[in-house]
Structure 1
């Protein structure tokens, strides 16, 4: 089996799953163009991968990382963060697969002759890689959909991006060493697996903490808003109660004045009754003018 075919079998399915996950985590503007470019670059890299140096492979993979960033829309910081975290997940999933291959065959990961000799282990390794990659990408997608929309604008938005980019560089270095230079060091590869998984667990805890912090801030803002609304409602309620009390007082006073007018009328003191009514009208007019001035 040619080296190029082995690379296509090992690389293309993983990259297709990876690209599909990116379409779920990013808002791709031109989906058909995205898939065409992804397939072209993946097939080109896979076909000539066996003749590339480790450094050239790394450089050739850069366009694959830039395609989803340029063909998606939304916050640039979030797009870079999503692609970076997705590549971290991809690299983390590769390490246990490489460790499984070396434990079963005792040969370097990038040895094509060993792959042809151990085809069963080759397919089992890639199946295990895929079985680990799919749930990890699904988990990342769920976390991004849950917390990604709560990011703030400004410098705070770029801090997770810079943190993840630094992690990506360090993981690339850790991957390149066993694949390109320390090929037969099972101890190093095992240590890399442990460190990578620990780093991934720390990332999950970090994002969970960021989510809780963002939720707390939203709850605090909502509590402040509700408290302000409650203060306004209480103020309006106080004004309403004052108006009712004033109305009841006026009604009571008017009842007393009516009794006085009736009593004067019964005695035949109509002049005094008219004067009392005029005085009442003047008081009511003054009260009305005062209320209108306040309003």
Structure 2
């Protein structure tokens, strides 16, 4: 007998969002060590992150017998971290990890079930351009990504882009869980135009909001190529190009260029 039928509610908790840190939020720190409460409370955040990954493997994966081979899953974990913010080709990932394709599918589901990562599907529409169908993988926290790669310490230049995109993805997801801001989250990337992509396409009802995330601090026209192209998608009512820091401006084609702090304000106030 299910005594909770009709009464059980599911609530999701996420790493700290910028406003929850009440003025103590640092974008650089969020990209470097993440915003998990246990990490921010630690005097040795990098050691705490390493311990978190170790405990995850031993206490969550091994103790719960979630996989047949702990060694295989341990090999998979840093490879999956390298795919943070990228499209996931299961066959390629299986080759890199040295496991079967079906095993990779199981591993990805475990990452999601244990709340370490999530996938964003590609948007599909009947346009003249056919969209890609591989989902993109995002980890729930930048610190966990870096710990899984064993790449803690100062941020490398090549890390900033994927980590910033991941931070935006997690903010969108968290605020939606807390406030119900949209109905569906996808990314957009037509197969016939390699290199053309929009990181996030939010649907609410029949309306779409397109968002591109860039870790830079200065507007560059080439950063808006995807947002310019997605304008042909019906019912795209708003296009945002989000930089880590940027003064607000609007391009000739109507794209709003904003800094990360303004995106946070829009999400917090439900004005996206």
> Which structure has the larger Rg over C-alpha atoms?
1
Higher helix share: 1
**What interval of TM-score do these two structures reach, taking the shorter chain for normalisation?**
under 0.3
Higher strand share: 2
